[in-house]
């Protein structure tokens, strides 16, 4: 993802804190990242057209108790002029490869297998794949226990030395060492959520909402390191908390920060979060309340300070909705959030101080958007319409943030995630 240093550092300039040396240093870092072999397909021997992986639900025990119709992990090529996806390969995988993540070099792919039982234990698993640079083809390296049932999220530490897994049904998060050859080792740490479960009904939900799920016990939904790698954050939907850990890089351990968690309103159900490219703000999406919570982030202390909460739904909406995904445009100007049942993606403009303003919404052209992804150029957004068994492509207006359907549908059984390899 190529970032513009003038956007990332604008706040410092306004505050008079940015020296010419700081600006040149920041520009050099961003320029280096933009041209690194890990992120430039031409240097890695890949085609200039981006390659795209799609993870799916692929077992009879799919999402929300329904059958998964995916065949495994799909590989597509995207036409940069139109956003059209052309299927190149399918890598069979029958254990719900519902979340995907690269290592920093984009040489390996890590997959959360959202299953309840692995090798006779009450656990899901995480798989490691090698990526063939010229074709994007995958080769399975190994699979390890995820440390809890039904892992729904996996991410990789910025050092590339560890993968993190969030186990929704197990209520745990796990740290898995990554060996020099890309394989996964057994978990070096597993942490379980603790404390009383939140309210059955979300206090911030729309009038008439019956968005009730997960407030019976801990349910880890996402885990990811902050940009520095010093801290790791995880959401627990059942406890209505964002947990914050100090990360011991040498031992692969999660140590409670001070404070160890931030509470969200009872029943709201924090699901996914994203950091702004500038690193100063974190945006957390609440699944059952259909809200976005905006936090100031202190990167030195790993602490969050709440500053704004707003709905992902249009004014006057009543009834049930479940949010799913949140993401920020590559230029850092707009934030997007997906609504399931309402079947829309809303977008918000991001002010210089990190606060959000509602800007618009677009129908997803399909049922139950499980997640969505913006391509690295920032020109296209792809919605994984889970119950419609297709991806829908939208063109992004990079001046206003608005989405326009391109007319492009790509058939994929029970799609869950799109991930670009450039």
* Percent above pLDDT 90 for the chain: 85
Contact 7, 331 (CB under 8 A): yes
Better-scored residue on pLDDT, 1 or 99:
99
For residue 192, is pLDDT > 80? yes
Parallel/antiparallel/unpaired status of strands 151-156 and 138-145: unpaired
Tell me the pLDDT band of 64, cut-offs 50, 70 and 90.
Answer: confident
- C-alpha separations of 255 from 190, 235, 259 in Å: 11, 15, 11
CA distance 316 to 308: 19
Tell me the pLDDT band of 6, cut-offs 50, 70 and 90.
Answer: very low
Tell me the pLDDT band of 301, cut-offs 50, 70 and 90.
Answer: very high
Tell me the pLDDT band of 10, cut-offs 50, 70 and 90.
Answer: very low
CA-nearest of 324, 394, 392 to 63 is 324
For residue 421, is pLDDT > 60? yes
Parallel/antiparallel/unpaired status of strands 51-56 and 415-421: antiparallel
- Please say whether the dihedral angle defined by the alpha carbons of residues 135, 137, 142 and 143, taken in this order, is positive or negative: positive
Main-chain phi, psi angles of 31, to 5 degrees:
-65, -40
**Per-position b or e across 247-271, b if 16+ CB within 10 A of its CB:** beeeebebeebeeebbebbbbbbbb
Residue spans of the domains in the chain: they are 1-35, 42-421
- Mean pLDDT, range 344-360, rounded to an integer: 98
* Fold adopted by 42-421: Methylamine Dehydrogenase; Chain H (2.130.10)
163: β partners: 156, 176
* Percent above pLDDT 70 for the chain: 89
Please give the angle made by the CA atoms of 235, 221 and 38, to the nearest 5 degrees: 95
Condensed to tens digits (0 to 9), the pLDDT of residues 267-291 reads 999 999 999 999 999 999 999 999 9
Condensed to tens digits (0 to 9), the pLDDT of residues 355-405 reads 999 999 999 999 999 999 999 999 999 999 999 999 999 999 999 999 999
The predicted pLDDT at position 143 comes to 98
The predicted pLDDT at position 36 comes to 37
The predicted pLDDT at position 65 comes to 83
- Mean pLDDT, range 16-26, rounded to an integer: 36
Contact 40, 406 (CB under 8 A): no
CA-nearest of 372, 318, 319, 315 to 345 is 372
For residue 260, is pLDDT > 80? yes
270: β partners: 286
Condensed to tens digits (0 to 9), the pLDDT of residues 145-158 reads 999 999 999 999 99
């Amino acid at each position: 993802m190529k970032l513009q240093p003038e956007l990332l550092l604008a706040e410092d300039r306004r505050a008079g804190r940015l020296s010419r040396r700081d600006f040149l240093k920041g520009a050099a870092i961003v320029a280096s990242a933009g041209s690194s072999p890990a992120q430039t397909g031409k240097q890695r021997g890949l085609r200039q057209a981006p390659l795209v992986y799609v993870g799916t639900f692929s077992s009879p025990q799919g999402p929300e108790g329904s059958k998964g119709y995916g065949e495994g992990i799909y590989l597509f090529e995207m036409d940069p002029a139109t956003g059209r996806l052309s299927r190149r390969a399918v890598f069979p995988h029958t254990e719900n490869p519902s979340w995907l993540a690269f290592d920093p070099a984009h040489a390996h792919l890590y997959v959360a297998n959202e299953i309840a039982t692995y090798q006779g234990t009450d656990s899901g698993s995480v798989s490691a794949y090698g990526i063939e640079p010229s074709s994007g083809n995958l080769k399975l390296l190994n699979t390890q226990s995820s440390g809890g049932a039904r892992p729904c999220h996996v991410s990789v530490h910025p050092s590339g030395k560890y993968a993190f897994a969030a186990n929704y049904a197990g209520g745990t998060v796990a740290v898995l060492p990554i060996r020099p050859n890309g394989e996964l080792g057994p978990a070096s740490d597993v942490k379980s959520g603790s404390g009383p479960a939140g309210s059955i009904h979300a206090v911030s939900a729309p009038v008439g909402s019956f968005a009730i799920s997960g407030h019976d016990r801990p349910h880890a939904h996402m885990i990811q390191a902050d940009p520095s790698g010093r801290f790791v954050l995880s959401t627990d939907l059942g406890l209505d908390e964002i947990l914050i850990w100090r990360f011991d890089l040498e031992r692969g351990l999660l140590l409670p920060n001070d404070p160890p968690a931030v509470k969200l309103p009872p029943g709201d159900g924090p699901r996914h979060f994203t950091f702004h490219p500038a690193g100063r703000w974190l945006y957390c999406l609440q699944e059952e309340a259909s809200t976005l919570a905006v936090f100031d982030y202190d990167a030195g202390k790993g602490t969050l300070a709440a500053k704004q909460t707003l709905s992902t739904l249009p004014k006057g909406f009543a009834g049930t909705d479940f949010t799913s995904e949140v993401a920020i445009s590559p230029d850092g100007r707009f934030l997007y959030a997906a609504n399931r049942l309402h079947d829309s993606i809303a977008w918000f403009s991001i002010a210089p101080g990190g606060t959000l303003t509602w800007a618009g919404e677009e129908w997803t052209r399909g049922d139950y958007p499980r997640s969505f992804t913006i391509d690295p150029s920032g020109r296209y957004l792809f919605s994984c319409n889970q119950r419609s068994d297709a991806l829908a492509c939208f063109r992004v207006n990079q001046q206003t943030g608005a989405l326009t359907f391109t007319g492009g549908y790509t058939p994929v059984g029970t799609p869950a995630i799109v991930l670009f390899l450039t």
